[in-house]
Amino acid sequence: MVTIQTNIERLNRLILSLWRKNWRGIQRDEEEPLPAFFKTPSSEVKLLFIGINPALNKDDYRKILKKELKENPNLQKVYEEGFRSFITRSRTKVYNLHELISELELVEHIIGKHHNYEKRPKEIARYLGIDPGRELYMTDLFFIRKTNQAEFLKTYVYRNGKNINEGLTTFALRQLKILSILIKIINPKMIIICNAEAARLFKKYVIPMVSPKINYFCNEFGTYIININGRNVPIFYSSMLSGQRALDSFSFERLKWHMKTVMNKIIE
């Protein structure tokens, strides 16, 4: 029997293969950024958060890792070699992808302790009665670590560097295809897209891959409904939950209330 862990590892190998084949063809003169990978959920996924792409501030990462070295000696190798070592090692003929991703997950766990991007998603999960450590899953549309969203979209996502109406690059479309497979594998009960541009991309490109026949706005519940593996799943579209353009506190409270109301009526 094929397990979720096996399927997730296959997807991570697809991501790594995509980087090997496509990265240099896009940005030949730029340092190759470490792609984001999928974690294996430890239990049933009740709530899936999707952003647009993970940020990357290498100087900030190194400062945080340096602070943590005394408590966690396992970070020494990552701190000294930097993230590029991951790609370098993974290009060799013999490598342990599981070990490399475990190393990466350790780093991201440490970084997460010092940043607030997980604070509001976890707050929503707790408000809904969902275990944020086991039943909450967080990922992004794209696996490229870039902080400047406008630059990221222009360079890697939009064909001809323009906008969503111009279509997407092959590199971007392949990432969305991988994400669509993940969604079917983890089979979430509820989804929230936490970025306005991510919402537009998700509606136009990902939903047709995941739920080609069912995608409608439910007037009764005030949210969109799609179907994943034979089950109706509500989707909430929101602006960013953290950062300078984050949802204000009052809108955030209403979002939590809305999600709980829908969850109680549709899911339970």
Just give the CATH number of 4-55+117-267. Answer: 3.40.470.10
Q: Please state the rounded mean pLDDT for residues 231-238.
A: 96
- Using pLDDT thresholds of 50, 70 and 90, give the confidence band for residue 86: low
The whole-number pLDDT of residue 215 equals: 94
- Whether the per-residue pLDDT at 41 is higher than 70: the answer is yes
- Using pLDDT thresholds of 50, 70 and 90, give the confidence band for residue 106: confident
- % of residues, the chain, pLDDT over 90: 49
SS3 214: coil
Query: Looking at per-residue confidence, does 159 or 104 come out higher?
Result: 159
Cβ–Cβ < 8 Å for 226, 267: no
How many CB atoms neighbour CB 112 within 10 A?
15
- Whether the per-residue pLDDT at 263 is higher than 70: the answer is yes
The whole-number pLDDT of residue 20 equals: 75
Query: Looking at per-residue confidence, does 268 or 245 come out higher?
Result: 245
d(CA 71, CA 113): 14
Residue with tokens 């070990």: 99
Residue with tokens 């974690």: 39
Q: For residue 131, with 0-12 CB atoms within 10 Å meaning exposed, 13-18 middle and 19 or more buried, which class applies?
A: middle
Cβ–Cβ < 8 Å for 47, 124: yes
In degrees to the nearest 10, what's the CA dihedral of 217, 220, 223, 224?
A: -30
d(CA 255, CA 248): 11
pTM to 2 decimal places: 0.88
Query: Looking at per-residue confidence, does 221 or 60 come out higher?
Result: 221
Length of the chain: 268
Within the chain, all domains assigned CATH 3.40.470.10 are found at 4-55+117-267
- Residue 175 in tokens: 């990432």
The whole-number pLDDT of residue 88 equals: 62
- Residue 87 in tokens: 């790609």
Query: Looking at per-residue confidence, does 82 or 185 come out higher?
Result: 185
How many CB atoms neighbour CB 135 within 10 A?
19
Distance from first CA to last CA of the chain, Å, rounded? 29
CA 217 to chain centre: 24
Per-residue DSSP letter, 220: T
d(CA 64, CA 151): 25
- Residue 118 in tokens: 């997980």
